């Protein structure tokens, strides 16, 4: 098999590098035969067939291999005709002929036998396809291909790589190819000179190669590899620290977003709203609903959900305020129980009306994946957006509280209700608007959370305790306190988590807050003045 693989790789490389020389083309019966042996052999044997197909030089080969890799190559049970599955959801699949490319329409899944693929084969296919991609006119494709080659270069390819590199115009592709070659040289040939190339590389394959070199008998090689490793370790440590900080900030912004609506209703109005979590849930469900209304445009739906989520939650908030909370003014225990009841009602309402099952909220393409800073540090995009969104919401709230008439009135009512009323402020109206604002912000939090957690009836429950924790820790009624508390608790949690485990980390954070509250009962930023004492 080794010889086989070498041979086919040779063929392939020749084909890739001198396309003009090879005009191989298989006729349909040969193709049918190749695909049949692919379908009928065991996983171990399939490897050979894959190389045969790749080496055949047929222009359809790439399509076959790609669809095979994604489990979309199949055979119609009755006729033995090979097909490529275009759409494989549901019970009828849309297919086209693998040999002619003719669209065959929808065929029941019962009649299709898929040609099975597994991870090992997919890996093999990927390296074969990336060799093909090295000649792609798109720089992006070449770069991806060159990166994929790290750790999978073999002897034949290694001989050809220098030539490819000299033809390469893009620096980054050339650098990736150089590294791929160096990994091969260190791993297979114990090349001391190549070790220097790997020094400072953050690629995990490069690290594996160096670790292997450190175990070799050649003293010079060991010394060079150890030195290169030390510089890598140093860099890795820095990257790990940066990553932990990012994780902390991202969890912190989620906590802050979930809590800031509560900071307004609980902090400013003094209402303990146990249904706050369910208002978050409503925001998340609004996102789902929007995506149902605008199928195929998850990004647009998500953006429209921002105002819609705010509105839905704010209206629900007003309803709760009017029907329950206003009748229980000044009776915190009863308010707590009543709003807890409201939260249960809302949860069960969602279960009965929509479904007890979680709903799928699609993440738009521009929010999936991550930005690669370097090969050891990449920032996940959805979290990055949530951090940005949280900061925008915070800034917006600060503006409302500081610069608008509503903000002024809210602050006045908070500080001294009786005095504010005697100055002509309608306290009832302020109450409604404040509660609507706090609820609306909870809805915004729900829109953001729909991108990072499950949208289901239990969504709110998961965040209510955390929200109270952040508000109490930050100092009741202080928005800056909420921001700082969210970020602090998030970072502490993420620092502890790898070391203590998720369960223990959470317990430790709670213990920390209990101790902190003992020392400073009013949180990080206590409210000053006589009103705060009452």
Partner 1 sequence: MSISKHVKLSLSALALSISFNSVAAEDPIKVGILHSLSGTMAISESTLKDTMLMLIEKQNEAGGVLGRQLEPVVVDPASNWPLFAEKARELLAKEKVDVIFGNWTSVSRKSVLPVIEELNGLLFYPVQYEGEESSENVFYTGAAPNQQAIPAVDYLMNDIGVERWVLAGTDYVYPRTTNKILETYLKDKGVAAADIMINYTPFGHSNWQAIVSDIKAFGSAGKKTAVVSTINGDANVPFYRELGNQGIEAADIPVVAFSVGEQELSGIDTGPLVGHLAAWNYFMSVESDANYDFIDAWAAYSDNEDAVTNDPMEAHYIGFNMYIEAVKKAGTADVDAVKDAIIGVSVPNLTGGYATMMPNHHITKPVLIGEIQDNGQFSVVWETPSTVAGDAWSDFLPGSKDLISDWRKPLFCGNFNVVSGTCGGQAKVAAE
**Shortest spacing between CB 120 and partner 1, in angstroms:** 7
140 counts as binding partner 1 under rule CB under 8 A: no
Q: Which is nearer to partner 1, 431 or 466 (CB)?
A: 466
Verify binding: residue 465, partner 1, rule CB under 8 A: no
The nearest distance, CB 309 to partner 1, in angstroms, is 19
Minimum CB separation of residue 47 from partner 1 in Å reads 13
Smaller CB separation from partner 1, 388 or 501: 501
Residue of 2, 20, 90, 137 that binds partner 1 (CB under 8 A): 90
The answer to whether the beta carbons of residues 133 and 144 sit under 8 Å apart is yes
- Give the nearest distance from C-beta 15 to partner 1 in angstroms: 24
Q: Is 506 in the site for partner 1 (CB under 8 A)?
A: yes
Residue 144 in contact with partner 1, rule: CB under 8 A: no
- CA distances (Å), origin 155, targets 2, 145, 158, 162, 379: 12, 18, 5, 12, 35
Distance of CA 246 to the CA centre of its chain: 14
* Cα(122)–Cα(47) distance, integer angstroms: 10
In the DSSP assignment, the letter for residue 110 is G
Structure-block tokens of residue 189: 């040939």
Task: With CB under 8 A as the rule, give the number of residues binding partner 1.
Answer: 63
| Interface of this chain with partner 1, residues 238 to 297, rule: CB under 8 A | 240, 243-244, 247, 250-251, 254
Smaller CB separation from partner 1, 193 or 245? 245
Task: Tell me the per-residue interface mask from 426 to 455 with partner 1, x by CB under 8 A, - otherwise.
Answer: --------------------------xxx-
From CA 94, how far away is CA 115, in angstroms rounded?
16
Residue 94, phi then psi, degrees to nearest 5: -85, 130
170 contributes a contact to partner 1 by CB under 8 A: no
Distance in Å, CB of 453 to partner 1, minimum: 4
Roughly what angle, to the nearest 10 degrees, separates helices 459-474 and 219-262?
90
207 binds partner 1 (CB under 8 A): yes
Element (H, E) at 260: helix 219-262
> Is the Cβ–Cβ distance between 448 and 499 less than 8 Å?
no
Q: Does 416 bind partner 1 (CB under 8 A)?
A: no
In the bound state with partner 1, the residue whose beta carbon lies nearer, of 457 and 475, is 457
CB < 8 Å & 24+ apart, contacts of 10-16: 10/156, 11/54, 11/55, 11/57, 12/51, 12/54, 12/55, 12/128, 12/131, 12/132, 13/131, 13/156, 13/157, 13/160, 15/55, 15/57, 16/131, 16/132, 16/134, 16/135
Interacting positions 32-71 with partner 1 (CB under 8 A): 43, 70-71
DSSP structural state of residue 275: T
Torsion angle of C-alpha atoms 81, 87, 88, 91, degrees rounded to 10: -90
Query: What's the rounded Cα separation, in Å, for the pair 389 and 253?
Result: 9
| Interaction of residue 330 with partner 1, rule CB under 8 A | no
- Of these, 261, 277, 443, 456, which contacts partner 1 (CB under 8 A)? 456
Pick between residue 273 and residue 363 the one whose CB is nearest to partner 1. 363
Report CA torsion sign: 210, 215, 216, 222: positive
Residues β-bridged to residue 84: 73, 96
Please give the residues from 216 up to 245 whose contact with partner 1 meets the rule CB under 8 A.
240, 243-244
Is there binding between residue 382 and partner 1 (CB under 8 A)? yes
Q: Is residue 369 a contact residue for partner 1 (CB under 8 A)?
A: yes
In terms of CB distance, is 16 or 462 closer to partner 1?
Answer: 462
Q: How far is CA 406 from CA 257, 432, 448, 475, in A?
A: 21, 11, 26, 22
CB nearer to partner 1: give 269 or 489.
489
Q: Based on CB atoms, which residue is closest to partner 1, 264 or 496? A: 496
- Tell me if 360 contacts partner 1 by CB under 8 A: yes
> Helices H, strands E: what count in the chain?
22, 7
Where does residue 362 fall: left (phi above 0), alpha (psi -120 to 50 degrees), or beta otherwise? beta
Query: Which CB, 444 or 476, lies closer to partner 1?
Result: 444
- Residues 351, 417, 421, 522: which binds partner 1 (CB under 8 A)? 351
Residues lying near partner 1 in the complex (CB under 8 A)? 43, 70-71, 88-91, 109-110, 113-114, 116-120, 122-123, 126, 204, 207-208, 211-212, 240, 243-244, 247, 250-251, 254, 348, 351, 356-360, 362-363, 368-370, 378, 380-383, 452-454, 456-458, 462, 493-494, 497-498, 501-503, 506
């Amino acid at each position: 098999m080794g010889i086989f693989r070498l041979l086919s790789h040779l063929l392939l490389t020749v084909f890739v590098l001198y396309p003009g020389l090879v005009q191989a083309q298989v006729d349909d019966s040969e193709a049918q035969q190749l695909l049949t042996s692919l379908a009928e052999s065991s996983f171990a044997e399939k490897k050979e067939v894959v190389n045969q197909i790749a080496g055949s030089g047929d222009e359809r080969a790439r399509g076959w291999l790609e669809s095979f890799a994604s489990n979309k190559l199949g055979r119609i049970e009755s006729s033995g005709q090979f097909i490529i599955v275009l759409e494989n959801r549901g019970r009828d699949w849309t297919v086209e002929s693998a040999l002619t490319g003719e669209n065959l329409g929808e065929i029941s899944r019962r009649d299709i036998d898929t040609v099975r693929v597994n991870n090992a084969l997919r890996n093999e296919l990927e390296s074969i396809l990336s060799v093909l991609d090295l000649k792609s006119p798109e720089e992006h494709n070449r770069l991806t291909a060159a990166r994929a080659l790290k750790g999978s270069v073999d002897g034949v390819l290694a001989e050809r790589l220098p030539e490819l590199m000299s033809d390469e115009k893009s620096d980054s592709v050339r650098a990736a190819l150089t590294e791929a070659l160096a990994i091969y040289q260190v791993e297979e040939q114990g090349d001391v000179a190549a070790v220097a190339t790997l020094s400072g590389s953050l690629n995990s394959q490069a690290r594996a190669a160096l670790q292997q070199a450190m175990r070799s008998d050649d003293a010079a090689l060991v010394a060079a590899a150890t030195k290169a490793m030390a510089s890598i370790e140093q860099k890795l440590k820095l990257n790990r620290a940066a990553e932990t900080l990012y994780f902390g900030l991202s969890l912190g912004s989620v906590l802050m977003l979930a809590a800031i609506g509560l900071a307004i209703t609980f902090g400013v109005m003094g209402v303990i709203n146990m249904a706050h979590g369910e208002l978050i849930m409503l925001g998340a469900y609004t996102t789902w609903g929007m995506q149902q209304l605008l199928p195929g445009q998850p990004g647009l739906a998500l953006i429209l959900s921002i105002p819609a989520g705010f509105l839905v939650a704010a209206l629900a908030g007003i309803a709760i305020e009017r029907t329950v909370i206003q009748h229980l003014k000044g009776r915190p225990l009863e308010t707590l129980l009543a709003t807890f009841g409201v939260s249960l009602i809302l949860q069960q309402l969602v279960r009965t009306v929509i479904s007890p099952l979680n709903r799928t909220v699609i993440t738009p393409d521009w929010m999936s994946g991550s930005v690669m800073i370097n090969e050891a540090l990449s920032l996940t995009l959805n979290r990055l957006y949530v951090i940005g969104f949280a900061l925008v919401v915070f800034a917006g709230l600060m503006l409302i509280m500081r610069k608008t008439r509503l903000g002024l009135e809210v602050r006045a009512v908070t500080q001294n209700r009786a005095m504010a009323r005697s100055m002509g402020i309608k306290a009832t109206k302020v109450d409604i608007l404040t509660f609507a604002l706090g609820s609306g912000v909870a809805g915004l939090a729900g829109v953001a959370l729909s991108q990072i957690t499950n949208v289901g009836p239990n969504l709110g429950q998961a965040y209510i305790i955390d929200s109270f924790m952040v508000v109490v820790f930050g100092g009741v009624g202080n928005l800056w306190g909420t921001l700082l508390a969210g970020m602090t608790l998030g970072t502490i949690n993420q620092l502890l988590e790898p070391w203590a485990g998720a369960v223990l980390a959470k317990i430790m954070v709670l213990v920390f807050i209990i101790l902190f509250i003992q020392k400073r009962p009013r949180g990080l930023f206590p409210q000053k003045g006589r009103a705060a004492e009452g």
